[in-house]
Structure 1
Amino acid sequence: MAEDQSFGSTRSASSPARRSRRPVQSCDPCRRRKVRCDLKSPCSACQVSRNSVTCTYQGDQQQPSLALEDRGSEGNTVQQQVPRSLSIAPNNIDHPAKRQRTTNETERIRSVERRVQQLEHSVVPEVDPQQHSLSSSSNNHLTLLALSDRLQHVEQRLAELSQARPAPSAVTGDKSLTIPSVIPRLRHNQKKVKLFPSSHWLHTAEKFRVSHVGDSDVELTFVDTKAELADSVNEIRNLRLTMKNEQTPQMDDPVPQLLSTMPARSICDRLVNHYMRTFELIYRCFHIPTFWAEYEQYFSQPQPVVTNFAIKLGLVLAIGSVFSNDDDKVLQRSRRTWIQAAQYWMVGPSEKTTNNLDGIQIFCLLLVSRQITLVGRSPWLSESGLLRVAMAMGLHRDPQLFSLSPFQAGIRRRLWTTVLELVIHGSMDCSIPLLLSSNDFDDHMPLNVSDADLDSASEQSPSPQPLTSYTESSIQILMRQSLPIRLEVVRAVQNERLEHSYEMAIELATKLQTVCRTLASYCRSHWSQFLSMHHAFLDMQIRRYILVLHRPFMLQAQKDPRFYFSRRVCQESAMIIATYAERLRLPADSLDDLSKLMVMSTGSFRGPLSLDVISVLGLEVVSQLEETGSGPSSASIGLNHTLVLDPLAELARGQRAPIIRLLEHINEQLLQIVKLGHPTLKRYIFLAGILSQIYAMERGQPILSAVLNTAKASLKECYDVLQSYRAANTPREVSQDVIDNGLLDGLDFGAMDSNYLDFSAFLVPTI
């Protein structure tokens, strides 16, 4: 028997049966087109219709309803009807207030109903409406409450499904998919260290699984089965290496007798101690107790062949010899021999034996030793190559991702921080864009633990000490804390396509100045452990970033007074760095560590003797003279035989006097360095020309002729000095034999400008 589906009443089982007209279920457009209607608002047929139709239902007549399933306690399903029309019960039509209130409720029912349908389509599986049944006698208010409860339940279910499926699903129609994370694998042994990232084929090979046929099936991956073939693999590997050695052309070792060049044990002890107290605390490469154990074994059980440790020891001796007071010519020659042997060891026939942490240590020591022994940088053995090798070994990833011992994890953290320092330093020196950002590596800093507490046999990581406590890693940690700021500075300065704003330069420089103050405060707190050389070296390195950051704006300060602040910042930074040159007093019988470093280093390791500092201070003095118009005519005016001084001119003279004195001292020390047999002539000749221009501007004399005469005199003086040194020593003891190749031929006097003297335009790079 058909049920009566009219609005407002439900047929009961006890009521007498009567026939009634079936209510209209379809919408008006579907009725006209005679298609099936799904009773939605709008229905699916109207949505896909090409014509612009409005899905409406018969207005004042009986309307279709939304069926809600009510599952009772017996499991039976009862169809409940929720009206779609805006009409109300006939007995309420004549009451406008009630009709308006009921109309508002019905509108709310429709909005909630549409929301429920949208959420039901997005939730999989369908929501069970067991707890949301409506009785047949429910009115509009109860219907609204029921739909609200149902909406809350659907939203809660949708939130649970979203948390269970963080990645976008194809069911929801979202096309953006995330790449699932793959844990990288690491091969870490004495012979070879290699990282297998998520893109490596090894992760695909691990999915191939085989089973042992026996009492119990044990599944092994394709990689695990290699253990069963260990003997065969070793045999074929040995045969392969034999064939490769036979096919490799024989090359003469440039240092065939490297072991014979090692000095006596007493000299080695002294040089190694020099290295350990200076650069090992800045660029950590070793675990100090382990190094001394290998050192003792090296001398107690000498090996007939060159080993990795022998190469590392030679580089350590080369760096330590810089801080030695011995003026040993044989030691100076051996220094270059050890560096050359390390280069051959890195890229020669034995290069595969260095594909491990020993190779990283040798690479770092090689780069440092070339910069502080007047050898200079190599375009083929650069910091970029070191970065790629370190990343191939997975040093840029957090050691906690791998099954490593605490000792191995600690060494990897130290080496990676050393690599970062050398890479960013090389980018600054060579003006090469830094192809590295903070997103390219994990943020794993070295632990502030003493080397004595980091035991290679321990299975538990030692508890790190507070940063206020001093350990052998404290200096490295201090520099690592400022690494993100310095990375941002290098990217802004070296990348010419990304012009950094003035506000960003001021902000970064302010942060770097805070780093300098923090460093100075830490050094004062641990002055007994810190060397004065450490604080000076680190302070000069940090202030160099400030100098380079503001220098582009400083060069525009003469034309645009808005950049006057950058000019003052550059002057202050350069002056602070230049004051460290006052420690250098050549000739002298003994020098402190910082003075020795300034004499023997190249690039920015020279500190106050670098061209960055010299050029900024020289330009500042010349700019002051141009602004004040200094000269005999403006400095004083004769009136009735009484000398009347210009107060502003005298004030400007007093401000630039300290800068000129520093430049004169630096120029004198550069000449003394040439007298030591180091033919680094460009800085001396360049600074001599700047000083001659300053003197000429102060006296009101012609600038061009003064600079030309000074350049000629400086070249002649350097020529005589080097000839005298060469006569007193054997030719091999001359650092660079360039004197006989026409020293004066490298100058182009026609390239000089009378307004601005740029020595880099006419001085050859070899000087």
Structure 2
Amino acid sequence: MEDPPSSSTLATLLANNRKRARPTKSCLECRRKKLKCDRVQPCSQCRKLGRDSLCVFATATGTQTEESADKRVRVEVSKLATWGEAPASRSDCFHGEASLGTPFSQPANGSVPLGKVYVKGSRSKYVGTGDRMSLLDHFSDEKSFLMASFKDPTRANMLKEFMIYQKAWKPKLKPLGQYPAGQDAMLDSLPNDTVIDALVGKYTSNFENALRVLHIPVFLKHAEAIKRARRSQTSLASEVPEAALPQLLGVMAIASRLSDSNDPSSHRLSESLLLQHIKLIKYWLEGLKGKHRITLPVLRAQTLLFLANNAAQASSPQLWRDSGDLVRVAMIMGLHRDPEDLLKLSNFENEQRKKLWQTIVELDLQMSLTTGLPPALQSSDFSSETPINVDNYDLTEDMSEYPTPQPLSVWTDALPQVILSFSIKERLDTATLLARDIDVEATSGELLERAKSLERAVHAIETALPPRSKQKHTLYSNLTLDVLVRRFSLALYRRVALSEVGWQFPEARQGALRGSMAILSHLDALDPSIADPDVIQSKEYLNLFHVSCKSDILQAALLLCYEIRNFNSDQSNSSDPTPWTKHSLIRIVENTLNSHLQRLGEFGTDLKTILPLSIVLHSVRSDGSPDGKRDLMMRGIDRVLNACRRALPSIQPPEQSYPPPPDNNVQERGHQDVRTFPIDVLFHHYVGTRRVLDIAIY
């Protein structure tokens, strides 16, 4: 195997960060207990609790106590109002009444909060900066406009109409009762063989690349045995492990997301059947105890369940918990140790353990970045090596010697995961850092150096990958690989560029723009109306990219809107030119919004994402009067509502609806004039149908 691309001076940066000492603003006791300190000695908190002698402030040179405190994650909260929490009753959803969650701490200095904690009664929820809606904190006018819509009694009919569309695209499925977790229940839930073959083919061709769970030849053999058992109504053969059946259910649930509703040959499961498969796997896993729980086939089934939940748009906090559980089960099994040191394992088993371990660490790493919470392990916690770069069929259960690894210039099933592993420890350290309380002003230089190193890793991937062939699954694999690594450099660039000191670091702004442009350009590569027609013929890959990279797309588009607004202000630095003009940025975000609107009704359609983006885009195009900006924001709402009406013409608007807009409304890229409609029905709908703590509230 070729040497991996060189990493940055990460160890030096971490060492410098540990050695750096800065005066603590609060006394050590208030800092430890996370209390507000008035910074006198003794402070009011210590006097109140009778601990005057313990009220000590760290010196400029730092103390061991201070260093320990710096290593703990300290949650900072913003006083920004939420978009609304659970109304008292479902009827309140129609009247814009909502109670706001209460932050229990003052905001940190700086314009970029490191996370917000919302409290209501005995419940609380932490929302990290990785959340897809966090960038709306930088659009105060637009956010105020959204919140004001809650209290406008004249818009009740509009809310009702929008709720109808949301329910049609995201119906609330009734929870299933307790299913028997045996083989018979799982066999009975299988669709016909044609659907099974189509979904298994989708999975094996498209999903086993950067994230690898199964050994495809063995899995296909087990899948055939399962189909034979169902046809003959007999039990599974003894050579087929019990975990093979839940593995098959997980594979079909994941592959079902690769679909296009306009393509009659695009097989997928119904939402109810998909949910049933996920529940059956979960119940089966819960029934396993002790030694039956810590086998490789079972861990594979658990990993597939995680991927199925992720594809089904489960909540990020729950997925973060599940990914941590995967890591811990894998460590109990010893997957974090190099299997070459375990003499009793075969070469085949060694490779399977390495492959699955890399996948589990990657999943936890990605969920850490999304939630802004620390990963379940650090880069020094494992010694497992990278799998060798060979195809699945080169690895056989009876092999006595390892096959010869292919160079990185040759495409294999393992190549995406091999390349991804080169930066895994660097990205783990970055995710751990981003989950901490960062003094951006003091560490901006270090953050930018780390971001540049990760960006070099992205370029190394582009260099290492062989030329893209005219195979759509290879194209999608390459784009996914780019996003998995680019997320981390982009998060660092954003952290600096959007801070109060961001204007001092134009390279942060440029890096954030480069990363955002790259993310949004992937939409064009998968759009059949733009992409190479010999490669992309349907929207199935575009739909899947919208689902799997929803947060990346929205954050990239909002960051471009932030840059568009800067063109309108005096803060724009003419000495720091970018290769993009205001109009070119507007066009790129327009194309992104259109991509969302043109796939209304597909799985993953999320008006909670589309509506804010449309409002922000229309608002930042002008720096006019408040009334003028309000009119533009209303046009953004009009545009989305009209698209919903075209997508579902059978939906009848509520009676006593509002009048249509004047004929001079904006028409862009084929979008017709529409009626005015406020944004917040979706959020009220979600509040009325989900637990408050499962909503990303702002």
Does the TM-score normalized on the shorter chain lie above 0.5?
Answer: yes
RMSD: 3.9
User: In the alignment, is the contact (CA less than 8 A) between 1:372 and 1:605 conserved in 2?
Assistant: no
| Aligned partner of residue 499 in structure 2, secondary structure | coil
2:434 to 493, 501, 504: 493
**1:599 aligns to what?**
543
Check if 1:339 corresponds to 2:265. no
| CA gap 1:560/1:340 in 2 versus in 1, 3 angstroms | closer
Deviations 1:262-314 (A, max 9, x none): 23323322221211121112211122221122222222344656842111111
**2:109 aligns to what?**
none
Check if 1:322 corresponds to 2:263. no
Deviations 1:41-86 (A, max 9, x none): xxxxxxxxxxxxxxxxxxxxxxxxxxxxxxxxxxxxxxxxxxxxxx
Deviations 1:631-684 (A, max 9, x none): xxxxxxxxxxxxxxxxx89x9997121211111121122223333365511211
1:605, distance to aligned residue in structure 2 (A) = 2.4
**2:610 aligns to what?**
684
2:400 to 438, 444, 459: 459
Deviations 1:349-392 (A, max 9, x none): 67974431122211221222222344454617621111111101
1:693, distance to aligned residue in structure 2 (A) = 0.9
**2:594 aligns to what?**
668
1:569, distance to aligned residue in structure 2 (A) = 0.8
Give, in whole Å, the separation in 1 of the partners of 2:644 and 2:556: 25
Check if 1:556 corresponds to 2:502. no
**2:247 aligns to what?**
312
1:507, distance to aligned residue in structure 2 (A) = 2.3
| CA gap 1:263/1:446 in 2 versus in 1, 3 angstroms | same
Show the 5 A alignment for 1:183-262.
252-253=179-180, 257-262=185-190
**2:463 aligns to what?**
521
Give, in whole Å, the separation in 1 of the partners of 2:568 and 2:324: 43
Matched-pair identity in %:
22
1:338, distance to aligned residue in structure 2 (A) = 1.7
Give, in whole Å, the separation in 2 of the partners of 1:513 and 1:677: 32
| Aligned partner of residue 191 in structure 2, secondary structure | coil
Give, in whole Å, the separation in 1 of the partners of 2:403 and 2:548: 36
Higher relative contact order (CA 8 A, sep 6+): 2
Give, in whole Å, the separation in 1 of the partners of 2:695 and 2:628: 22
| Aligned partner of residue 395 in structure 2, secondary structure | coil
Give, in whole Å, the separation in 1 of the partners of 2:229 and 2:564: 61
Counterpart of 2:465, as a letter, is: C
**1:366 aligns to what?**
305
**1:709 aligns to what?**
634
1:714, distance to aligned residue in structure 2 (A) = 5.8
Give, in whole Å, the separation in 2 of the partners of 1:515 and 1:615: 25
User: In the alignment, is the contact (CA less than 8 A) between 2:217 and 2:392 conserved in 1?
Assistant: yes
Larger Cα-atom Rg: 1
Show the 5 A alignment for 1:421-432.
421-432=362-373
User: In the alignment, is the contact (CA less than 8 A) between 2:408 and 2:465 conserved in 1?
Assistant: no
Give, in whole Å, the separation in 2 of the partners of 1:328 and 1:766: 35
Give, in whole Å, the separation in 2 of the partners of 1:339 and 1:725: 32
How many residue pairs match? The answer is 470
| CA gap 1:597/1:708 in 2 versus in 1, 3 angstroms | same
- Alignment gaps of 5+ in structure 1: 1-249, 631-647, 728-741, 749-762
User: In the alignment, is the contact (CA less than 8 A) between 2:374 and 2:432 conserved in 1?
Assistant: yes
2:478 to 511, 529, 535: 535
User: In the alignment, is the contact (CA less than 8 A) between 2:317 and 2:371 conserved in 1?
Assistant: no
2:356 to 415, 426, 430: 415
Give, in whole Å, the separation in 2 of the partners of 1:413 and 1:724: 52
User: In the alignment, is the contact (CA less than 8 A) between 1:374 and 1:602 conserved in 2?
Assistant: no
TM-score, length basis structure 1: 0.55
- Alignment gaps of 5+ in structure 2: 1-176, 237-241, 653-677, 685-693
User: In the alignment, is the contact (CA less than 8 A) between 1:319 and 1:372 conserved in 2?
Assistant: yes
Counterpart of 2:569, as a letter, is: E
Deviations 1:431-458 (A, max 9, x none): 1112422211114111223333322123
Check if 1:398 corresponds to 2:377. no
Give, in whole Å, the separation in 2 of the partners of 1:478 and 1:378: 28
Counterpart of 1:564, as a letter, is: P
| CA gap 1:446/1:537 in 2 versus in 1, 3 angstroms | same
| CA gap 1:654/1:617 in 2 versus in 1, 3 angstroms | closer
| CA gap 1:653/1:561 in 2 versus in 1, 3 angstroms | closer
1:580, distance to aligned residue in structure 2 (A) = 1.6
Deviations 1:463-503 (A, max 9, x none): 43444443221111100011122112212212225768223
Counterpart of 2:359, as a letter, is: T
| CA gap 1:423/1:594 in 2 versus in 1, 3 angstroms | farther
**2:199 aligns to what?**
271
Counterpart of 2:429, as a letter, is: E
User: In the alignment, is the contact (CA less than 8 A) between 1:371 and 1:601 conserved in 2?
Assistant: no
Check if 1:625 corresponds to 2:564. no
Show the 5 A alignment for 1:719-738.
720=645, 724=649
**1:568 aligns to what?**
510
Give, in whole Å, the separation in 2 of the partners of 1:560 and 1:459: 57
User: In the alignment, is the contact (CA less than 8 A) between 2:323 and 2:367 conserved in 1?
Assistant: yes
| Aligned partner of residue 397 in structure 1, secondary structure | coil
| CA gap 1:627/1:517 in 2 versus in 1, 3 angstroms | same
Counterpart of 2:478, as a letter, is: H
1:693 to 619, 632, 635: 619
**2:215 aligns to what?**
287
Give, in whole Å, the separation in 1 of the partners of 2:637 and 2:270: 35
Counterpart of 2:481, as a letter, is: L
1:573, distance to aligned residue in structure 2 (A) = 0.9
| CA gap 1:690/1:298 in 2 versus in 1, 3 angstroms | same
| CA gap 1:398/1:342 in 2 versus in 1, 3 angstroms | same
TM-score, length basis structure 2: 0.60
Give, in whole Å, the separation in 2 of the partners of 1:586 and 1:521: 26
Give, in whole Å, the separation in 1 of the partners of 2:643 and 2:283: 34
User: In the alignment, is the contact (CA less than 8 A) between 2:645 and 2:651 conserved in 1?
Assistant: no
Give, in whole Å, the separation in 2 of the partners of 1:615 and 1:421: 26
1:427, distance to aligned residue in structure 2 (A) = 0.5
Give, in whole Å, the separation in 2 of the partners of 1:342 and 1:436: 26
Show the 5 A alignment for 1:35-74.
none
| Aligned partner of residue 448 in structure 1, secondary structure | coil
